[in-house]
Structure 1
Amino acid sequence: MRPLDVHAGGAIFDLTLLTRETAEGGLAAMFEYTTDLFDRWRIEQLARALAAALAGVDAPASSVAALPLMSPADESQQLRRACGPRAPIVHSSGVHAFVEAQVDRTPDAVALVSDDETVTYQQLERRANRLAHHLRALGVGRGTLVGVVATRTSATFVAVLAILKAGGAYVPLDPSYPAQRLAFIVEDAALRWIVAEPDVAASLPPHAAELSRPTQRWPPTSGRSPTSARTTSPTSSTPRARPGDRRAWP
């Protein structure tokens, strides 16, 4: 007796994964999918991702969050597509450093597409730097929590980058949340500053935080990032940004 693959000619569900144990102690897997949603290339990608995740399991108690989702070859290919064959990998604790590095390589490439506009890396960097300098002038620094009224616009991403550049941490405020929930978040995080456009800021409950607009034309700056030091020890003082400095302080 031996098993036979039976194909009914149609998929019962959008995506089904069938597995069975082999005589060698491994697993044989079969994907069944609807061709209205998936093609063979996409399913092959899913299969490679599953294989990479299973190969990364060191023990039964391994955390799912720690499992790899790509094989080393696929990860290298994705990096080459996104950054170019000779682009260095930037090791940083913040996404703003990746944006800064990409500005040097492809300043006019499209960085962000939203319903309201298309933004290049150079434009995104300049807007974020202007807002970051404004936030630093207000007192935002390392460890400061700043609220962001999160909407699906380019202004939200500019606000997040600016807060990270200023050394702070952002607290997302979803305008669709109930007013009581938003009031609790603002109070619990002790927010002194919130970045939002006036139309969405009106959805917030009464608060004492100071509002800043991510798209406001703040006074011109040197165009450089005011990022706080990321490698400074906790006991040392964080130097202020100077004109001409974009990168993190050494």
Structure 2
Amino acid sequence: METYGFLERPDGERLAWKRVDGQGPTIVWMGGFMSDMTGTKAQALADWAVAEGRSYVRFDYLGHGQSSGAFVDGTITRWRDDSLAVLDGLTSGDLVLVGSSMGGWLSCLVALVRPERVKAMVLIAPAPDFTEKLMSPEIPPEGWAALEAEGVWMRPSEYGDPYPIRRTLLEDGARWSILGGEPIPLEMPIRILQGGQDPDVPWRHALELAQAVKAEDVVFSLIKDGDHRLSRPQDLARLIATVAEVS
């Protein structure tokens, strides 16, 4: 059985969450940019957790899904803090973080703060440093002009209507860069599932993360015909098997 509620933040915002009480380390779903906890992968893991009696938590960041706040006000700093608030307020003991896209970056940032609790990570198309390395290079001149003049650019999307990107998101994201410097001091087992046909996170970007972490128990799985979402039945089966393996 899954319960749900809201976690109050100090500034009055509320984070929506759902939780399955069960055995083993708590599996925590860390969603992607503009995604929410009702997505196909998050729901598949919830169904598995209920069926197998496993402990599981999923939630929405500020401005996402059922949580309060405006998406445009979000930053990596804020969403990282939201994630830590959920871990500290809704879970205890060992954790397995399952991070999708931006959630892969946030999983790494959270694990750096709580390394004693995070026992493993499963990352799906992880997008560390995406604001600086993936998003900024694709902003057209008119986008930079809008960011300079108004502080916000409406970015076109293949998945729906254009959405707002605020200059503060890009500036803040640079503060949390983890690639291109010293080895990342993450030493827990890490599994990465990456689509070879992903238009949003190139597989070489995810591979760079796999090579940058200090951990030795790292497995990088390239699904050659997979897209960014990796939500086909075979992808979901692979995700669940991978989570089961490390937890």
Task: Give the structure-2-normalised TM-score.
Answer: 0.23
Report the structure, 1 or 2, having the larger strand content. Answer: 2
> Which protein is bigger by CA-based radius of gyration?
1
Report the structure, 1 or 2, having the larger helix content. Answer: 2
Q: Which has the higher contact order (CA 8 A, sep 6+)?
A: 2
